[in-house]
Structure formats: C-alpha cells, structure tokens
Amino acid sequence: MLNKIDRRSFRPLPSQARIIVIGAGIGGLVAALLLATRGFAVTLVEKSKHPGGKLREVEIGGHAIDSGPTVFTMRPVFEAIFQVAGARLDDYITLRRAEILARHSWEDGSRFDLHADREATAQAVEALAGAREAQGYRDFCHRTAEVFAALDGPFMENAAPTPLSLARSAGLAGLPALTRIQPFTSLWNVVGRYFADPRLQQLFGRYATYCGSSPFSAPGPLMLIAHVEQMGVWLVEGGMIRLAEALETLAAASGVGIHYGEDVAEVIIRNGRAAGVRLASGETLYADAVIFNGDPSALASGLLGNAVHGAVTGWTPRQRSLSALTWSISGTATGFPLSRHTVFFSRDYRREFDEIAAGSLPSEPTIYVCAQDRGADDSPLGDGPERLFLLVNAPAHADFKPLSEMEMASCETRVMERLLRAGLTISAPPERMVRTGPADFATLFPGTGGALYGRASHGWAASFQRPGARSRIAGLYLAGGAVHPGPGIPMAALSGRHSASAVMQDLASTASFHPVATSGGMSMP
C-alpha cells in the first residue's frame, strides 16, 4: 500500500508540495529527480516492475538484450541534469564513444561506414560515390550544423515554441539562418539537393525514421539529426537500461518514492485541476500536481478517466508515427562483418513507406541490426552467443488492423533472406528468439495502436502540434517522447525537464524559488 495523503488534514506549503509522476520512462524519471532536488515530495508510480519505459530489455537465456532505443546522443543534456542533482554522469554510467556510427549495406553489394570523424566520412563518401558527392556531404554537414544552432535554443530548449517565438528568438540577424532550415520541403527533397547518389539519399533520408516518420513526408529540419550524431554517439556499458537505472538511483537518493507494479486507472480532477490519482487497486493518492509520462493519446482516448479526456488534442490513426516488428536474439551471426549498428537497405525506399502507409508490412523492408557484443574491431566479444536486435518499420494499426501471424512470419522470412543475400547468417534456436510486433507495443504503451514515437513528424507544422509540458487541465503536466520536443532519449529527458520547470513555475506564486543556472544551457526555477 502507498501512503495516502489526506487533503483534509494536510495543507502543504508550496515548497513541500506533493507531486505524483505516472510512468518511470526517461521523461518521468528526469521530472521526478529534478523536482525532488528542489524540495518537492515526489511519488513515482510505474505499472511495470522496472524503470525505463521504451528503454527496455528482453532477457533470453540469461542474456539481457537492448530491445528499445539503442543509441545514446546529446550527452551534455544528461550531464546538466545530473549536475542539477549534485552528481556526475560518469559516476553512474560508463560511456564509450563510437568511432563508426553505423555501417550500411545495399543490394548491389556496396557498403559504407558513417564515421564519427567527419573527414573520414567524406573520404568514405568519395570512395563510394565520387568527389562531387563528397563535397555534397561537406556542404550537408555545414547546413545541418546551422539548422541545429537555429533550433537548439529556440525550439528544443523552449518549453512551448511557436513559429512566431522562433522568429523572435532569431532576431533580425538570425532570420537568414532560420529561413534556410527549409521547413516546407520534405527531408527527402532536401537530401536530394546535396546527394545525387540514391544510396546516400536513402542513408541520410533515413533520419526521418528516428522520429517514426517517412522521409517523403517529414520536414527538412530533421536533417539536424545528422549533426547530433556528429556531436557524439556513445555506447553505454551494460546496455541502455543502465541510464534509466542511474536516474532511478539518483532519484531515490534525492527522496523520490518509487513504486513499481502500480497501475494508474484514473487521474482525479477536483475544482478543475488535477488533484491526484486512483490506482487500479482502488487506492487513491492526492497531490498538488500530476505529471503523466506516457503517450498523450492515452489521455485523449479516456484511458485515464473521462475527466482528462480533453487534456490534450488527440490524433488520428493516420497521424500516428511508425511502429516496428523486432526480433531480440541470442545466437550467432556469421559472414557479414557487422558493426555495432548496421543497416541493410531495401531497393525501393518509396515503395517501402507507401506500403506501410497503406497498413501493410513492407514487401522488402529496410533492416536495422544492433550487434550489442561487437568490439572496436567489429569482432564479437567473447565466445558465447551474441546479443542481436533486429528491427523493421511497421504500421501502427494494431487496434483496428492487427497484423496476422502469417504476415509477421512471412516478413521474418523475407528479413532473413535479405540478410543472407548480404552474406549474413543468423542462427538461433526458436527459444532464443523473441519477436515483438505492433500489437505487443500497443499493449506495452496503451492508446498508441503500437506507435512508438507519438504523432508522426509529417509536414512543417507537426512539431508545433505536439503537446507541450502543460496540458489543458491545471495541475496536469506531460512528459515523454510523444510530447515536445519529440522522440528520442535526450528529447524525452528535455521533456521531463520542461515539465518539472512548468510545475515549479506554476506553484511558485506562493513559494520562494530562485533560478539556479548550470552549465549546458539548463536553468531550473
């Protein structure tokens, strides 16, 4: 049983205000941690048995396999969060910088490594496609850096950006750079202005899928993801879940009460504002504010009670981001020289996304393989089975057009045949292979239909239509990859920071909070 807060006898001062955080994903963990460090009494309620949310592991034969996000970027975001809590990121997790960001393979047998070193990549581009394409890559890098600089503060660091606020932040001097971010042009067309080689168009257009979107519909500014990777891709020793566990440890040490295996059935509304939650067990917990770290579509669809149905604007199934069909494998991989991250491209990228949009698995999917036991020289570490994670994009229609067992089995056959054509053989007994499909993700993340990234980033306005930290209901706040600033581990962390800041600002009218500035661009009221 959780300790109930009886509002009839307990009237906390704002500096002692009680906060309930629903969900121990990265956004919820960050929000809980930051609020606890400022003296709030924080209770974090999570329905599963462990932290992480989409940052999850699948255990097979005693081997824990990363089976969610597998890339760690924007390290300064986490360093600043840990610094606010009086800690150092390096004291909690061990990070190793990746020298090869990803290896890529095409049906014609060509291969290409994207390097952490920009000039090494330019030379690899020249070897693959010629000097003109290498210059196109250098120009592309210059533009992606400019786009990142134009959007970092005014958009990602802004809790509620608008096109007008972007223009105001840029000022007259910054308007030329802002106009060059090409928001009204698809990422595919933007990439095509720098690369004529269709293989490189695929490679750099694929960044749209990092947001669960199609490169043919996603806006040009998503090119900034290329610059984010150039800033550093890191490998987390022990797996990505170590980040969630580090935040959990620090949050608990800061006074957060963390309760696993507790499902929230309803957000309680009193006098027009969020006043607590009712658990599935029937227990009621009262609070001064509630942060929901989950997909906002769960609120819009009434899964947390009719009283919060209008807290956010929902989106239609057509507006959902991609889902996925994945395989977590403990087995052997021979033949093809896998790197930590390897992508096997389809022959017809447009057809692939057209088929997904029509509600089908692609007849010829692009395949991502994460070989989690590959060392610096790309050879397996140790003699035992390798931990492998395979992913293909899929439609998020599990709630009204679920994929059949036959469709998924057929896709699995096509995946293995494609890998075999590239020279890669993956061997594992059936009991050491776990398949996860859109219906499984829909169960893990209610209200999504299996969508893994919230609303798709299609069209120039999509990023501004993503919900922000404040919902329409006073006292109810949002965090997670489906809210601003968007999908991805660092973006989810920023969303947690935004929600914590919003709570503190809204409760500060009768409290004495003073801004604390930290290196890395973070300030907490």
Class of domain 14-56+239-314+460-524: alpha beta
What are the DSSP E strand ranges found in 261-304? 264-270, 273-279, 284-286, 289-293
| Statement: residue 507 has pLDDT above 60 | yes
Instruction: For the beta carbon of residue 282, count every other beta carbon within 10 angstroms.
Output: 7
| Cα torsion angle, 449, 453, 454, 455, sign | negative
Encode pLDDT of 94-149 as tens digits: 999 999 999 999 999 999 999 999 999 999 999 999 999 999 999 999 999 999 99
Alpha-carbon distance 251 to 402, whole Å?
38
275, burial (CB in 10 Å: exposed 0-12, middle 13-18, buried 19+): buried
Q: Is the dihedral of CA 486, 492, 496, 501 positive or negative?
A: negative
Question: Which residues 6+ apart lie within 8 Å of 34 measured at CB?
Answer: 81, 84, 85, 496, 497, 500, 501, 524
Specify the pLDDT at position 1. 36
Asked if residue 6 has pLDDT above 90, the reply is no
Q: What is the mean pLDDT of residues 491-516?
A: 78
Q: Mind listing the pLDDT tens digit for each residue in 352-382? A: 999 999 999 999 999 999 999 987 667 777 7
Does residue 297 contact residue 315 with C-beta atoms inside 8 Å?
A: yes
Query: How far apart (Å, rounded) are the C-alpha atoms in residues 176 and 273?
Result: 43
Q: pTM of this prediction?
A: 0.92
Q: Which sequence spans correspond to the domains of the chain?
A: 14-56+239-314+460-524, 119-227, 322-444
* DSSP per-residue letters across 236-271: ETT-THHHHHHHHHHHHHTT-EEEES--EEEEEEET
- pLDDT-based confidence at residue 154 (cuts at 50, 70, 90): confident
| pLDDT tens readout for residues 314-338 | 899 999 999 999 999 999 999 999 9
Cα gap 396→320, rounded to integer Å:
7
What distance lies between CA 365 and its chain's CA centroid?
Answer: 21
Give the pLDDT confidence of 443-486 residue by residue, as tens digits: 999 999 999 999 999 998 888 889 999 999 999 999 999 999 99
